[in-house]
Structure 1
Amino acid sequence: MAGVLRAERVWVETFTGLRAGQFERLLRVVRERGGDGPRVGRPWALPLSERVLLVAVYYRTNLTMRQVAVLFGVSTAGVCRVIQRLGPLLALEPVRPAESAVERLWIVDGTLIPVRDRRVAASSRNYRFSANVQVIVDADTRLVVATGRPVPGTTADARAWRASGLAASCEGVTVLGDGAYISTGLIVPHRKRPGRPLLKGEEEDNAAHRKVRARVEHVIGRMKNYKILRDCRQRGDKLHHAVQAVAHMHNLAFAA
């Protein structure tokens, strides 16, 4: 059966959330990372542009591989091989703090992503088996700076932050977190203590803190327009690759 989708403007914009120029930038990154390199054995059934579109469609729609195979006119096994090969190449490039990092403001928050793989998930407060993923966002640009590797959803945000290794990439940058990040070195809200209500200045600080920190929640909400982050059927490192790829596509869509 012939495939329906091709890497044309109407399909790219409809199925990926990216405009044609943004998709071209994504395609260029994958090509530079060796996505179209030599392959041992049979050649790919699809050109690189359509393989990248296939991965983006899979992450955006969370269709099964069998459904995606029908759309592109390839076998289910072929879809699996394309996702395994190109998924890691769509990853977000980690942002390094610039010389003016002292003037930057980043925000971190954890989000629960339902995932079928019980090795990276745990029954969590969203009543599903989920993984906790830490996301850092630039407060000014609303771009994703970095994401951490998934940990079981029962892991507290402070512990997940320490385990993620993201702190090393935030040296010299002011990072905001919510009350779950106490004792991590991040800027957190003032806490109410028994018999000691917040002072007026502390309440104002907390209100300003909430207003800024809401930006990371908005970004995470936009990322979850890619339905792979609402119910990930992938196993092993595939969830991490999906989060990285979605962050990359979010940045491409939001920066333009």
Structure 2
Amino acid sequence: MHYQTTTGLDDESMIELVARIHQILTGRGIELTRHRLGLYRQVELVLILLRQDMVQMRAADLYRISQPSVSRIWRRILPLLDEVLIMTGISLQQAVAQGEPILIDGTFIPTGNRPASGQGAANYSGKHHVGCLSIQVAGTLAGDLIATSAPVAGSRHDSAAIRMCGWQDILEGSGATWIADTATTAITPIKKTPGRDRLEWEKQFNHDVSSLRAAIEHIIGGLKNWKILSKGYRGRLAELPQIIKIVTRLELYRIGW
């Protein structure tokens, strides 16, 4: 199996991740030797579910186990991934303290059409025409992921979302240099003034800002290669914030944090 394509991690990273989980389980006196799938294969299975957004019935056929077994493995391994990767990466506050310019952009996590009587209406995005949650993504000018924010309702505009998740206070309160889109008070492209064309220096400024912001688009693309965040999350919405956090840590782990 080509692990980097299928699970998102290369062989060395896979072995290290499984070793960390094994250490935790050993410390708690938990043995998995009686299970049909060993620990390595269980971790591999959960990563495939995250990376490929594979339905559990299909994963059950692939591993020749039952769908309830897949569900139990998912609920067993997922919190362990969160635990062993807790020291991966740095917070937005720590990144701001380093003094480097930070790129910020919002993206949406599709959640499918949910009943309007529940959270469906609040999460429906008129811009994207889909039920979703909205997160903010921070990265460096070099194109490295820093962090993702807590999700907010998909119906909220980016300018409201960045305030609701607490990032605007962090960025503005620290005096950090940050570059975002036109929905914020950061360094942004200059809007066109009605009745006149942009001046040459304004065009050049917008070109420079757009060139810098291209890196955050690549960062979001890398994050959404974990297809559970891009194809349409089907599980319980209450569990999605934890999954976003775990996938963020896995992506940071993958790129070498």
Q: Note whether the superposition's TM-score is higher than 0.5.
A: yes
Residue aligning to 1:207:
207
Instruction: Describe the superposition over 1:116-145 as per-residue Cα deviations: whole angstroms up to 9, x where unpaired.
Output: 3742731432222222121111222x2221
Residue aligning to 2:14:
23
- 1:78 is aligned, of 66, 69, 73, to 69
> Which stretch has the larger CA shift, 53-62 or 239-248?
239-248
Distance 1:154 1:139 in 2: 29
Distance 1:49 1:42 in 2: 11
Trace 1:31-50 onto structure 2 (pairs within 5 A). Answer: 34=24, 37-38=28-29, 45-50=36-41
Residue aligning to 1:144:
145
Residue aligning to 1:178:
181
Residue aligning to 1:51:
42
- Give ranges in structure 2 of 5+ residues lacking alignment: none
RMSD across aligned positions (CA): 3.1
Residue aligning to 1:6:
none
Identity across aligned pairs (percent)? 28
Cα displacement (A) at 1:251 = 2.8
Distance 2:30 2:112 in 1: 31
TM-score using structure 1 length: 0.79
Residue aligning to 1:95:
90
Distance 1:35 1:148 in 2: 30
Residue aligning to 1:110:
106
The change in CA–CA distance for 1:138 and 1:48 in structure 2 (over 3 A counts) is: farther
SS at match of 2:150: coil
TM-score using structure 2 length: 0.78
Distance 2:59 2:67 in 1: 8
Cα displacement (A) at 1:11 = 4.9
SS at match of 1:126: coil
Greater helix content:
2
Cα displacement (A) at 1:160 = 0.8
**Aligned residues between the structures:** 241
The change in CA–CA distance for 1:150 and 1:85 in structure 2 (over 3 A counts) is: farther
- Give ranges in structure 1 of 5+ residues lacking alignment: 1-9
Q: In the alignment, does 2:135 pair up with 1:133? A: yes
SS at match of 2:183: helix
Distance 1:99 1:108 in 2: 12
Contact 1:108 1:216 in 2 (8 A): yes
Instruction: Describe the superposition over 1:87-139 as per-residue Cα deviations: whole angstroms up to 9, x where unpaired.
Output: 2443464514269612x122111112211374273143222222212111122
Distance 1:191 1:105 in 2: 22
Task: State the one-letter code of the partner of 2:49.
Answer: Y
Distance 1:226 1:31 in 2: 24
The change in CA–CA distance for 1:146 and 1:14 in structure 2 (over 3 A counts) is: closer
Contact 2:96 2:176 in 1 (8 A): no
Distance 2:32 2:3 in 1: 29
Cα displacement (A) at 1:49 = 2.2
